[in-house]
Structure 1
C-alpha cells in the first residue's frame, strides 16, 4: 500500500499577508505545493490529502483537480473549531487556529495507511520525499515513526525570525528531544534563538523539524487524547497552539514510540514573510534551469 501525503494548508498566513498556500512562484504560476506534490508522486506516494478551511475548497479544487486528475488520488478535509467532535462540550474562545497537531486530526477519517505530514508553504526537495517513502514502506510501525531533519543553517529567512523544532538526536539516529523555538534568526554570521529576552547560539548543522513527519494512523487516537488535555489546560490562553513536535516530545519521553531522524542535506526555502517571495521565485528558477524540474511542471 502506497503512503499518503497530508498537506497542512489551513493556516491564516498572518505574517505573509495573503493566502500564500496558492500563491504562484514557478515560471508558469506554480505554487510551492505543486513542487511538493510533483516530488511526492515521483517518490511513490499514492494519495494527497489537503487539510484546508472549508472556505478554501473551491480555490483549491480549481487549482489542483485539473492538473492532478489521473496522476494521483486527491481528497480534501477541513480543519474547524468544532470541539464537540472530540467530546468537548465547552465553548473555548480562540484568536487563532489550534495548531498543526490539531490540524492533522482532520485527516483521521480518510487516512488509513502510513502517512507523511508537510506544510503547504515549505519547499522540501525530492530527497526528503524519497527517504520518507522508503521509511513508510519498509520501517514504519505503530511505535516507530520518523521525522526529516534539516540543517538549521539551511532553513532561515533573511527577513525575520522563524519557528523551528530543534532536535536532539541519540547515537542510534533517533529523536531524544524536540523543542519548538519560536524565534530563530541569523545574526553576525551566526545563528541564535531567543527565549525570555536572552539569546542562545545554535550550530549551523543542528537538525530541525520543518514539519515533515512520518506516522501510521495509530497516531490519530494518541493525538486526539493529547488534544483534549491541551484544550482543557489552555482554555484561558487564546493564542496557545498544539504543535506536532509536542506529539513527538511526549511519545519519546513516555517511551511510547521512537522517531527516526532522517537527515537531508537539501536546502529548505519557504514564504514566512512577503519579502521572501522574490527569493523563492529565484530559487525555483534555478532548480528549473539546472534540470531538477521541467519549466512546465504538469505538461
Structure 2
C-alpha cells in the first residue's frame, strides 16, 4: 500500500507577508512544495492531498492542476475554523487557525492508508522521503499506532532572521521517541542556541538535539487520537482566540501514555524553509546549488 503525502498549506503566513506556500524559489518558477512532491513521486507516493483554506483554492489549482496532471493523484481538503467535532463550540472572536493537529484531523474522511505529513514551506530532501516511505511500507503497519518522524539536528533548522518553532525531541537508545515538546521561540545568538520557556527564561541547547520539522509518518489510527485531543483542547481553550494545538503536543501525550510509538528516522539531507521573507533568498540559493549538482532538473515538470 503506497503512502499518501498530506501537505499542510492552509497557514496564513503572517510573519512572511504573503502566500509563501506557492512563492517561487526554483529556476523555472517552482515553489518549495514542488520539490517535496517531486521527491515523493520518486519515493513511490501515488497521491498528494493539500490541506488549504477555501479562499486560496483558486490560486492552488492554477499553480498545481496542470503541473501535476498525469504525474500523481491530487485532492484538496479544506481546513476552516468552523470544522470542529460535533458538540463543541468556540469563541466567535476566533480568527487564527486551530493549528497543525487540527489540519491533520480534517483529512480524517479522506485518507485510509499510511500517510506522511509535511509543511508546504519546508524543504526536506529526497533521501528523507525515501526513508519514511520505506518505514511506512512495512507489512501490517496500516492498522497500528506505530508512527515515525524524520528528525533533523536543531542547529541545521534555524533562521538567521528571527525565532522559529520546533518540536524538540528526546529519544531512547533505539531512536524511539521518549518525548517531544513544541518550543515556539528558538533562536541562534552567535554560537549559542536557546529557547524562551513559559517563564521567560533562556534554556540553552547543544544544537545536536533532534527536532520535528513536521515530517511525520502516520497511519489512519492517528485520526481518532487527534479528534479526542482536539475536543479536550477546545473544552479547555474555547474562549482563547489565538491558542493552537500542535501535532507534537498530541504525539507527546500519546507516547507518554504508551498509546503510540514513534521511531525517529535521522536525516542526512539539508533542511531549509521560509519562515520569514528574508529566508526566501537563502532558499533560492539552496535550490540553485542542488540544480547545479544535478539533484534536480532545471525545470521540474516537463
User: TM class, shorter-chain normalised?
Assistant: over 0.9
Specify every segment of 5 or more residues in structure 1 that has no aligned partner in the other structure, as ranges.
none
TM-superposed CA distance for 1:236, in Å, is: 2.2
Aligned equivalent of 1:98: 98
Q: Quick one: structure 1 residues 202 and 165, their matched pair in 2 at CA, closer, same or farther if it must change by over 3 Å?
A: same
TM-superposed CA distance for 1:221, in Å, is: 1.1
How does 1:206-285 map onto structure 2 within 5 Å?
Answer: 206-285=209-288
User: Could you give the per-residue CA deviations for residues 37-89 of structure 1, whole angstroms, max 9, x where no partner exists?
Assistant: 00000011110000000111111111111011111100000001114543314
Aligned equivalent of 2:114: 114
Partners of 1:243 and 1:145 in 2: CA distance:
16
> Is the partner of 1:248 in helix, strand or coil?
helix
TM-superposed CA distance for 1:254, in Å, is: 0.8
Aligned equivalent of 2:166: 164
TM-superposed CA distance for 1:90, in Å, is: 5.1
- Indicate the larger mover: 102-111 or 34-43: 102-111
- TM-score of the pair, normalised by structure 1: 0.97
How does 1:1-299 map onto structure 2 within 5 Å?
Answer: 1-83=1-83, 85-89=85-89, 91-138=91-138, 140-141=141-142, 142-195=144-197, 196-299=199-302
> Is the partner of 1:292 in helix, strand or coil?
coil
CA contact (8 A) 1:8 1:52 kept: yes
Q: Quick one: structure 1 residues 165 and 66, their matched pair in 2 at CA, closer, same or farther if it must change by over 3 Å?
A: same
Specify every segment of 5 or more residues in structure 2 that has no aligned partner in the other structure, as ranges.
none
After TM superposition, the runs of 4+ consecutive aligned structure 1 residues lying more than 4 A away are 89-92
- TM-score of the pair, normalised by structure 2: 0.96
Partners of 1:54 and 1:121 in 2: CA distance:
19
Paired residues in the alignment total 299
Give the alignment's Cα RMSD to 1 decimal: 1.2
TM-superposed CA distance for 1:93, in Å, is: 3.2
> Is the partner of 1:138 in helix, strand or coil?
coil
TM-superposed CA distance for 1:188, in Å, is: 1.8
CA contact (8 A) 1:83 1:89 kept: no
Partners of 2:204 and 2:297 in 1: CA distance:
39
CA contact (8 A) 1:86 1:224 kept: no
Partners of 1:203 and 1:107 in 2: CA distance:
36
CA contact (8 A) 2:193 2:207 kept: yes
TM-superposed CA distance for 1:197, in Å, is: 2.3
CA contact (8 A) 1:151 1:265 kept: no
Q: Quick one: structure 1 residues 269 and 84, their matched pair in 2 at CA, closer, same or farther if it must change by over 3 Å?
A: closer
CA contact (8 A) 2:90 2:234 kept: no
TM-superposed CA distance for 1:29, in Å, is: 0.9
